Structure 1
Amino acid sequence: MAVKDEKPIVEAPDAATPSGGGGVSLGKGAWDCDANREIPPEKEAEVFEEIATMEFPFEGIPTVPPRKDMDHMSFFCGGCRYRVTAYPDWTVAKVKQALWAGGIQRANKPEHKRNTPGIQDWDDLTLIYAGQRMDSSYNDKKLRDFHVPPGCQVLIAIETAKLFTKPDPDSAYWN
């Protein structure tokens, strides 16, 4: 018996093709600031401790266990995830310097596509945690003053100039 309205199988675009844009879940990759090198996509889940196990199952389903690595924090910048050694008792400036030394300036877009100066120095970064901005005026404060926990993986590092520029007039932002 034949099925009438059977839809053809459509394969996902190949990451190697220009229209593919890369793997859906891989984003723009991950970077280890301590080693100043890329974290291979196949190692990301392991490095960031995101592998589900049966250590704390939920109704027989594996779950991601609590983190054990409290020496590293993760920052998102320009679509990439950066891993760096950082502690809550470090100053905002020290964390920015560690990110800078580890290669976060690679988040800069090519010169011809930029509407901001780019990340030229560690002090061009603003860190964000739970909606709290940690810009240059907070460089001497410690991360714990912003309630950042050890091993935090949900921080943002953004070029400070981007926080004060308006989107392009043709941007979907204005729709």
Structure 2
Amino acid sequence: MAEGVSLGKGAWDCDTGKEIPPDKEAEVFEEIATMDLPFEGIPTVPPRKDRSHMVFFCGGCRYRVTAHPEWTVAKVKQALWAGGIQRSNKPPEKRATPGLQRWEDLALIYGGAVLDDDNKCMADYHVPPGCQCLIAIERAKLDSGRPDPDSAYWN
């Protein structure tokens, strides 16, 4: 059976170094709809209250890490690395790139822009507190200019 492209690989808490159980994801990521701010009688997800964590999507998994806009890009990458983001590496025989070997191999993306300068603060890239829509990717994948061999691009 072929792997489903839409199948996620769960969530990981970089602060504890543990998987976030699937039944707790909605609570941890504040995605539970309530009637606090209904839209035409339909429950909606209220504004998030957690401003001390950021969430990065990497290799089909969400990585939650303590990070603040005043932190440098390098500090956030180091926190992700210390928290275990390298677990997103495919087995060596299945990857077309070297994989994440150290925190410098990470590239962070927000709003379609690569956060290139490790010495700049996240706020310099307009990343808000508690942002949950960031991407972490192996820099070698960006530099290659080609989609992964197993990407839907080739279908």
Same fold, TM exceeding 0.5? Answer: yes
Query: Are 1:54 and 2:42 an aligned pair?
Result: no
Task: Provide the aligned length of Structure 1 versus Structure 2.
Answer: 154
Alignment of 1:103-142 (within 5 A): 103-135=84-116, 138-142=117-121
Q: Structure 2 CA distance, aligned partners of 1:100 and 1:108? A: 12
Query: Please, what is the CA RMSD of the aligned residues?
Result: 2.1
1:96 to 69, 72, 77: 77
SS at 2:141's partner residue? Answer: helix
| Structure 1 segments of 4+ aligned residues over 3 angstroms from their partners | 18-21, 167-172
Summarize the Cα distance change of 1:35–1:144 in structure 2 as closer, same or farther, 3 Å threshold.
same
Task: Pick 1 or 2: higher relative contact order, CA cutoff 8 A, min separation 6.
Answer: 2
The alignment-based identity, stated in percent, is 75
Q: Work out which of the two has the higher radius of gyration on C-alpha atoms and give 1 or 2.
A: 1
Q: Structure 1 CA distance, aligned partners of 2:126 and 2:34? A: 29
Q: Structure 2 CA distance, aligned partners of 1:171 and 1:75? A: 20
Q: Which runs of 5+ in 2 are unaligned?
A: none
Pairwise CA distance, 1:140? 0.3
Pairwise CA distance, 1:169? 7.3
Q: Give the corresponding residue for 2:53.
A: 72
Cα deviations across residues 4-52 of structure 1 (Å, max 9, x unaligned)? xxxxxxxxxxxxxx6685xx6x611000000010000000000000000
Q: Structure 1 CA distance, aligned partners of 2:149 and 2:90? A: 19
SS at 2:124's partner residue? Answer: helix
Paired amino acid for 1:139:
D
TM-score (norm 2): 0.92
Summarize the Cα distance change of 1:172–1:63 in structure 2 as closer, same or farther, 3 Å threshold.
closer
Cα deviations across residues 98-137 of structure 1 (Å, max 9, x unaligned)? 00000000000000011100000001000000011013xx
